[in-house]
Structure 1
């Protein structure tokens, strides 16, 4: 992230012009030094010895993008800072504050009256099929996400080879889309075979069957080698075997993601095993044994009464003690209205919740379902708009293990930014109307 020699002239007009030129150059030099001093790092040319390999001073400004005089969201404080400039060099933010008025070869956008927030993160998507994936569709879905302000996604279970290809081509600039993070999907034998040996084809590094006695380090190493950021522990893990799998993943520096209920491992057992992100608040229904609750013909009022009496105190206490994050996925439960007050109670007890949709992309929709998810958080689960945005930015970055690199607008972080016409802290639906999308310092929309 200079003078030409002039000789043979001694007139007063030349002296005046010459002195003016010197002053102008001195002012430019002072301006450049001021910018350098404000950077979170020292450019290479500052300490480099003169020579043919010394970069020119112009490299400081040739890739600068200055977003001037905007309202800039402080995600952690939940408020906008008024009249700030955001200076971007390459793919990084190098300053938030006031930029110099003039810089050579800098692209300047006057954003007076506009709002800047970090790029959004959907922490639960599915953009590939498990087998026979259509890459054309995958790229269409990823481009849709990016053009609507989602600059990073976590695919919670898909074709790892396709996801690695998409991840690589997007990072190298050959395809358009958000940064892709994905998991290696893992489950026990009961999930795959029901104890009957139904699965005949070989498993892959991104879709594995694990049972006690397996070489877990070998399994996890293969998952990491295929490009996975984490493991997705799905089903058929008990409270005795689950901690072994979690420890193996952490030994190899993979994030540990999984279902809230592991069938048979229960929600509190899942937390205590060390799973870092638990998906689906709806799975808390398994904490109470009530066969009538699961019948399709059971009246909604009865289900509401069962959930209202559900004791989630221990679950919430353990979530906070283990610094675990809940991937609530309200969008997939919107027909089961009892899920909303349950999510509200979890939020009220201080559990950290991330925004994820668990939805297949509908390219005909004018905006992604992530906006609906955040709207549910506010209207149904008691979030403030600032808390909702935080769930789709810095909390999403924590899920990915990328909180040092993204999720807030701060010097040194990746320049994934959205420019909005209206204030999302007043109405989260402002996210439906994005003026500019900036990904890795480049303007997409």
Structure 2
């Protein structure tokens, strides 16, 4: 039983190499950590404050420390979701609900706990909003938050289309002027304040630890998108140089062949999405063109890491999946009233989506036509991801929770668990998934000194699982306990059901 004290501690254990007295000791664990070649049986971990101070196996003198008996459970590092958006509430739109504000506030109050419920002790926000960050970190229990500050956008780029006519510089004061391509210089703007170096400095001033850029062609825009500028390769190379001078990784939002080819030319570090827009091909073509296969192969053989974010596509497909909202996991991650909204008023999204995008996707305009098309679309993308994995592509785990747009398949924490299942269904190995959720994400974002493995000196973000995640992905949904910076949390206290019962 977790938390049970050992009645007869075994003496004879050597003195602590760290010299620190432990507050807590986890015993009787099978330790899985990505830097190890094999599990460590009969393992123990000493924790002082928020730090791991020693690991080992066999007999141990526990002294006066608090004991957590893992009961031969699997002890793994806390998980990292490296692609989240904390300001979206999945499936919630003002047009569909008169209770928008109440639903939004209740959703956001539960959101941090829901990430923890599914083992995500660190989340990385790729386009941060200061007020949202403050709200998230003010929650009594919340994952550690790393962010990229605001996304670095062009003065006349795609993101301006998202602002409803408001000037992009009002929302993104650290915007970038693409001087290599005669980019827009707003009236009264000081070009020197909007150079790559200035944009990186702005992100640093916001506390950002990464840079997010955009190469969005908006090929999906009904009737064709209004005019906007794509970044030049020279301006992105300049941003990469400025970011690397500050030891910041650079991510690029891109989903098209042109965008991924651009990433190769510009030398970014991470693609925030996979290659899922197949230009000059039908939405339901089962196989990519030779050009797309070539680009995917080049990405796989390059230093660029990819966040597949399969769940982003499943978010749209959720409109046509009648079973999704019956998943038992919903009740642990969103309030009951919110789930009721998704099952009720939110369903109006389906016909709205068909009216806007139906002719672009399927020959028929019924929900069954859309469902079949979305299924084919997902199958071909997962096949491409599998092919990239066979070419040794570097994948980083990110869920894109909660992606905007149509659909409701992006609940906090649960969407991450679904993304894990997507990877396994696509043929990615459990070992690759495990590394991506832990050390690979930590290394890519400069966090490996703090998290990603179970080693002395690392932050004590740990999970105790009842099954081996290297054998079965469902082990990630069999969490007994979350340790957050050394604080033990029974999983049940993080559930939305318990939160509501305590009100």
Higher RCO structure (Cα 8 Å, ≥6 apart): 2
C-alpha distance in 1 between matches for 2:439 and 2:198: 32
Q: Which of 78, 82, 96 is the matching residue for 1:123?
A: 82
Q: Which of 225, 236, 241 is the matching residue for 2:235?
A: 241
Contact 2:34/2:453 (<8 A) preserved: yes
Under a length normalisation based on structure 1, what TM-score does the superposition of the two structures give? 0.74
Superposition RMSD in Å: 3.3
Residue 406 of structure 1 pairs with residue 451 of structure 2: yes
Alignment of 1:163-312 (within 5 A): 163-164=133-134, 166-167=136-137, 169=138, 175-183=140-148, 184-188=150-154, 189-193=156-160, 198-200=165-167, 202-204=169-171, 208-212=175-179, 214-235=194-215, 236-261=230-255, 266-283=259-276, 285=277, 289-290=279-280, 292-294=281-283, 300=284, 303-305=285-287, 307=288, 309-312=290-293
C-alpha distance in 1 between matches for 2:88 and 2:173: 12
Q: Which of 393, 398, 405 is the matching residue for 1:356?
A: 398
Gaps of 5+ in 1: 1-26, 44-59, 295-299
Contact 1:72/1:117 (<8 A) preserved: yes
C-alpha distance in 1 between matches for 2:402 and 2:261: 29
1:413-436 deviation digits (Å, cap 9, x = unpaired): 111110011222221111112100
C-alpha distance in 1 between matches for 2:153 and 2:111: 27
CA gap of 1:207–1:78, structure 2 versus 1, over 3 A, is: farther
Under a length normalisation based on structure 2, what TM-score does the superposition of the two structures give? 0.66
Residue 150 of structure 1 pairs with residue 120 of structure 2: yes
Aligned to 1:67: 26
CA gap of 1:410–1:218, structure 2 versus 1, over 3 A, is: same
C-alpha distance in 2 between matches for 1:254 and 1:206: 20
C-alpha distance in 1 between matches for 2:412 and 2:446: 30
Q: Which is greater in Rg?
A: 1
Residue 324 of structure 1 pairs with residue 304 of structure 2: yes
C-alpha distance in 2 between matches for 1:206 and 1:257: 19
Q: Measure how far apart 1:68 and its partner are.
A: 0.8
SS of aligned partner of 1:282? coil
C-alpha distance in 2 between matches for 1:206 and 1:348: 42
Contact 2:78/2:452 (<8 A) preserved: yes
1:182-227 deviation digits (Å, cap 9, x = unpaired): 1221222131447x99433643567635432533322221221111
Contact 2:84/2:123 (<8 A) preserved: yes
1:63-110 deviation digits (Å, cap 9, x = unpaired): 421111211103245642221111212111122213763333201122
C-alpha distance in 1 between matches for 2:381 and 2:256: 19
Aligned to 1:101: 60
Tell me the number of residue pairs that the alignment of Structure 1 and Structure 2 aligns.
Answer: 373
